[in-house]
Amino acid sequence: MDTTPNRPPGYGVGLRAEHYETILREHPAVDWFEAISENYMGTEGRPLTILERVRLEWPVALHGVALSIGSTDPLDGAYLRSLRALIDRIEPVLVTDHLCWTGIGGRSLFDLLPLPLTEEALAHVAARTRQVQDLLGRRILLENPSTYVAYRHSTIPEGEFLAALAERADCGILLDVNNVHVSATNLGFDPVAYLEALPPERLGQIHLAGFTDMGTYLFDTHSAPVSDEVWRLYARAVRRFGAVPTLVEWDADIPPFERLHAEAEKARLVAESIIDESHDSRTPRLACDTGVARGADHRSATAAVASV
């Protein structure tokens, strides 16, 4: 298995059908794109053709939502063969999925459900992750999900669980900063302690997104700009992990491409401000001039960094 660390450069956005025409027509100065794996598996239709065209110009990461690594069902061989075929065809820079389960008894619940954070669950998921990596022929990254309930029997804080899993399975970590904030608010844990539990050498990617405040809890909807609280937590993450490749997700109430791209540029500004401030030499700077007007985003990004 290829275990060489492989990262896309800089700051990317999710590849969504609503933006296909803009991307192919305007060739925007985006560092990289992330595609939802299941949208392109087992098909020879237009989406796959678009993905192949995008891949000719930009690095692409594949991000899955149906691996169900935490399920007690057997691994889905047909799913993994289809994913392996897509990997071989697209040659993505990263392959990622979620630390969750999505169904039981062969039936999908179409949700990213949390695990009991126990030693038994850790051993189970680590063994399955090793199997998946052997079948795919490469290391994967697993992402922390947003959570709304906790198991009474959980004995390991999620950050420590994810760190131990990465070590035992020899996999990478996709840190979703928005999900840390959402889960920490909903369940009442310290988001900074969560970041401190993660090993920097295992971090291969960061996600940012927007949530919806439901009054009594936060709901991870990916339907809004990144919040000020998440920008502040992202600044903390950059101080700890360096300039990790970062992607902005926006999956509902999708804005014009220019607005989404502006969020990615804001991530660049926050990270560069932190790197400049700390003279962090652990990770090379990934700056490039995209020509995007930054104006208000620059002021907002600077304010987010200053308030940490």
Tens of pLDDT along 38-61? 999 988 889 999 999 999 999 999
Least trusted range by pLDDT, from 7-16, 117-126, 150-159: 7-16
CATH number assigned to the domain with residue range 11-306, chosen from the 4 options 3.20.20.150, 3.40.50.720, 3.10.20.600, 1.20.1250.20: 3.20.20.150
Q: Give the count of beta carbons closer than 10 Å to the beta carbon of residue 211.
A: 23
Cα 267 from Cα 250, distance rounded (Å): 14
Q: Does the pLDDT value for residue 254 go beyond 70? A: yes
Q: Does the pLDDT value for residue 126 go beyond 60? A: yes
Give pLDDT, residue 306: 43
- Top pLDDT among 23 and 114 is at 23
Average pLDDT over residues 131-155: 94
Q: Give the count of beta carbons closer than 10 Å to the beta carbon of residue 179.
A: 25
Buried b (16+ CB within 10 A) or exposed e, 37-62: bbbbbeeeeebbebbeebbeebbbbb
Cα 81 from Cα 64, distance rounded (Å): 14
At 110, phi and psi to the nearest 5? 55, 45
pLDDT classification of 279: cutoffs 50, 70, 90: low
- The conformational region for residue 85 under phi > 0 = left, psi -120 to 50 = alpha, else beta, is alpha
Q: Does the pLDDT value for residue 16 go beyond 70? A: yes
Cα 262 from Cα 290, distance rounded (Å): 10
Q: Does the pLDDT value for residue 219 go beyond 60? A: yes
Please give the DSSP secondary-structure letter assigned to residue 173.
E
User: Which two tokens mark 216?
Assistant: 């009594």
Average pLDDT over residues 155-161: 97
